[in-house]
Structure 1
Amino acid sequence: MREIPGSVAALCARLRAAGWEAYPVGGCVRDLLLGRTPGDWDVTTSARPEEVTALFDRTVPTGIKHGTVTVLTEDGGVEVTTFRAESGYADGRHPDAVTFGGDLTGDLSRRDFTINAMALGPDGTVIDPFGGRKDLQARIIRCVGEPERRFREDALRMLRAVRFSAQLGFAVENATAEALRNNAGLSACLSAERVRTELEKTLLAPWPERGEGLFAWGLLAAFVGTDAQPDLTTLHRVPVRPLERWAALCALLLDEGSIRSAGEFLKALRLDGRTVRACAAGAELVKTMPRGAVGWRHALAEHGEDACTAAAAIGAAMVGGTYLQELAETLAEGSCVTVRELALSGAELAAMGYRGADIGAAQRRLLSHVLDHPKDNRPERLRELLKAER
């Protein structure tokens, strides 16, 4: 198991010296046991937020209502959260009431999955009252306690279960999977932004095919209906980048009739405008998929790099082939694909006697020629072409 950063160890030591309990907890412990470097660090403590704030010079009140203070250290921010109990989840996402106090076991008992419900003691001992270490070894995602209750408390946990499965390559334990299916309707209360974030993390995960559970269990029914069954194994043909993965997903859903348009689907999920436009254009472009360098140069000139990237990703996901490679090679050529890249500028055309709209028309004709003959993008050759027209 990898070591705890010195700043985190010092933070815990300072809390303990002041008479409080303090333990690294949650995902950072899971990652340490998996031999990974944690992306962030969380500490749970018996100290209340105001006591944590008084003890450290640099703090940010990131979630005082829920007992969380971020302590700024030389290794980054560490979220320090008071032992707490929660009750009432009227909105299916947040507790109606938070009560500070209790002990470590009680604090761990409110967490989502056993693999996230472990802590490290002062001597480095793994404190694991719910069998998280055993589940790590068995490679399964299991809820802490009763799955139905965990998901009714926070519906986002259902999407997180699938996301962890895709990120870690773990199976979802049977009782947890059954609760996912039974409570899928609760996902309708989640914001589109929350759903988008979890879905994107799943699409970019090492095992994206495990994301099929999002559709099989009906967790995305608000966006794709209940019959969607995309084959996400095809995502392995596509680069692990958001644009390409979103484009490929849209293509799979369009192909099976689960969505009417890529643009509408992505807008509903609150994707950024650039991704929405690129995926929508790519879904149209793929109907007349470019081939070879000349084809891709023309497509780049007409639709832009983002749309072409989306189209190539769609082609790769749907039928395989060399679309992504062809596009990458075309881009690597550095050939002219826009008017701005022509070797003759608008000012130089004006100096040749062109005026007003004639300048733009001449540029478009030159670009059309250069897309087919990229080596002709030289000032003297472009002048020859224009003179030949007169």
Structure 2
Amino acid sequence: MEFRIPEKVHYIINTLNEHGYEAYAVGGCVRDMILGKDPEDWDITTSAKPQEIKKLFRRTVDTGIMHGTVTVLLDKDHYEVTTYRIDGKYEDYRHPKEVSFTSKLEEDLKRRDFAINAMAYNPHSGIVDLFGGMEDLKNAVIRCVGNASERFEEDALRILRAVRFSAQLGFQIEENTKKAIREKAGLLRNISAERIRMELTKLLVSDNPDRLRLLYELGISKVIMPEFDRMMETPQKNIHHIYTVGEHTIKTVSAVAGKISESRLAPRERTILRWTMLLHDIEKPGTITVGEDGQHHFHGHQEKGAETAKRIMKNLKFDNDTLEAVVHLIRWHDYRFSLTPKGIRKATSKVGKEYMPLLFEVMYADICGKNPDIIDDMLKELEEAKKLYTEIISKNECVSLKELNISGKDLIKAGFKPGKEMGVILNQLLEAVIEDPSLNNKETLLNMAKNMGGK
């Protein structure tokens, strides 16, 4: 079986071979190549020691030389080249205390996580598959190399990676691997928040985010996000819902942002929307009440949910921009639009023009996760709101202070004193313009301000 590998990868492998060393492309790039995908990164493994690698290439960086990794720079591209190694004892359920180099490819491959990631390739030898990776790819299965419990004890992040690969590839997790996950899920307490966030995000933005359910079924979310377990176990007995909060959440995550191949949204927006849907009803379990008619209500879950989402995302070390966007969208996700131009201008002023397109995506997904018998009218209303919003944007109607055709400087020139009162006047002018967009010209606004300020 022969594959086309990038010229520069070929050059590195050939250079090492010509000097008497073994060298292979290894891991995820081999898996993706077999699946007919374009690998994002190319990792190379070799029998050459780090200092020997450095001698053969003009530009290198010691990225992880203690663990055998040297980065080879070719023009603007960089490739990690790692010596075959055997990992020593793992002390923190994540990293080996020490590594030793070996001349045997098999020793290097057997320390890897899953059989589909434990294959090597070069043009001379073809695919080296010692642990049944090809068979697992054919059967669409995620299975640990060797003893699953041992693999998870070495590096507990592999527990989350199993679910993430299941979501990214659309594969099932093999039964022994599942059993070991259930037994070892508690070890995730040893893994850094940043690593957990990265794996969860990759799972969420994949084309199979419904694999979130595995987090609950395998006891993972109990450790890394117990709030998700509460959602999975909270019923919603009312006319709008037929699913538990958790099942509704999974359906909404799947309904937002479309397939990756559609490229409808930028990666950042996709991340924001998927995390918003995961957390949008996070506080329904904490706000549930039962009405006289036996119906469940969740008053205030939006505001309380926004605060809980903020705490969860802070704990997961999210960047501020993503955190603020998700929290803002959760706060407004249940807003009821008044379906008039004025009503949509008011909504846009409150929510913010930069968030409205994302809020429409959130609302669409939220509706899709509700009782199928009642969603048609809700979707029609949402379409009407979007249509009105598009008209407002096309007419360039004012919905914020920065779009008002008068500023604080203009008021100061007209004799107003800087301070709190001036801010109140500007906000009153904005309210008037939202009511009637034709008022948004400087002269009219200045006269209105003078009347307001008693000038």
CA distance in 2, matches of 1:124, 1:370: 73
Superimposed CA distance per residue, residues 137-164 of structure 1 (whole angstroms, 9 cap, x where no aligned partner): 2111111111111111100001111111
Q: CA deviation at 1:317?
A: 3.4
Structure 2 unaligned spans of 5+:
233-245, 258-264, 288-304, 369-378
User: Superposition pairs for residues 104-143 of structure 1, below 5 Å?
Assistant: 104-123=105-124, 125-143=126-144
Aligned to 1:362: 425
* Pair 331,354 (structure 1): closer, same or farther in 2 beyond 3 Å: same
Q: CA deviation at 1:291?
A: 4.8
One-letter amino acid of the structure 1 residue matched with residue 142 of structure 2: I
CA distance in 2, matches of 1:306, 1:266: 21
CA distance in 2, matches of 1:301, 1:92: 49
Aligned to 1:244: 273
Structure 1 unaligned spans of 5+:
none
* Pair 248,291 (structure 1): closer, same or farther in 2 beyond 3 Å: farther
* Pair 298,33 (structure 1): closer, same or farther in 2 beyond 3 Å: same
Aligned to 2:32: 31
SS in 2 for 1:263: helix
Aligned to 2:409: 347
Aligned to 1:298: 346
Q: Which moved more, 1:205-214 or 1:374-383?
A: 374-383
TM-score, normalising length from structure 2? 0.78
TM-score, normalising length from structure 1? 0.90
Aligned to 2:194: 193
CA distance in 1, matches of 2:43, 2:391: 46
* Pair 244,14 (structure 1): closer, same or farther in 2 beyond 3 Å: same
Q: Is the 8 A contact 2:45 2:81 kept in 1?
A: yes
Q: CA deviation at 1:200?
A: 0.8
Q: CA deviation at 1:300?
A: 4.0
SS in 2 for 1:183: helix
User: Superposition pairs for residues 51-200 of structure 1, below 5 Å?
Assistant: 51-74=52-75, 76-123=77-124, 125-200=126-201
* Pair 99,305 (structure 1): closer, same or farther in 2 beyond 3 Å: farther
Q: Which moved more, 1:134-143 or 1:7-16?
A: 134-143
2:365 is the counterpart of 1:317 = yes
CA distance in 1, matches of 2:8, 2:338: 55
One-letter amino acid of the structure 2 residue matched with residue 237 of structure 1: A
Aligned to 2:241: none
* Pair 178,339 (structure 1): closer, same or farther in 2 beyond 3 Å: same
CA distance in 1, matches of 2:36, 2:324: 40
SS in 2 for 1:262: helix
Aligned to 1:379: 442
* Pair 176,337 (structure 1): closer, same or farther in 2 beyond 3 Å: same
Q: CA deviation at 1:381?
A: 4.2
Q: Which moved more, 1:35-44 or 1:173-182?
A: 173-182
4+ residue segments displaced more than 6 Å = none
CA distance in 2, matches of 1:326, 1:173: 48
Q: CA deviation at 1:255?
A: 2.9
Aligned-residue CA RMSD (Å):
2.7
Task: Tell me how many residue pairs correspond in the alignment.
Answer: 390
Q: CA deviation at 1:305?
A: 5.1
CA distance in 2, matches of 1:95, 1:66: 9
Superimposed CA distance per residue, residues 224-262 of structure 1 (whole angstroms, 9 cap, x where no aligned partner): 325553332321322261111111111143334598821
* Pair 45,207 (structure 1): closer, same or farther in 2 beyond 3 Å: same
What fraction of aligned residue pairs are identical, expressed as a percent? 39
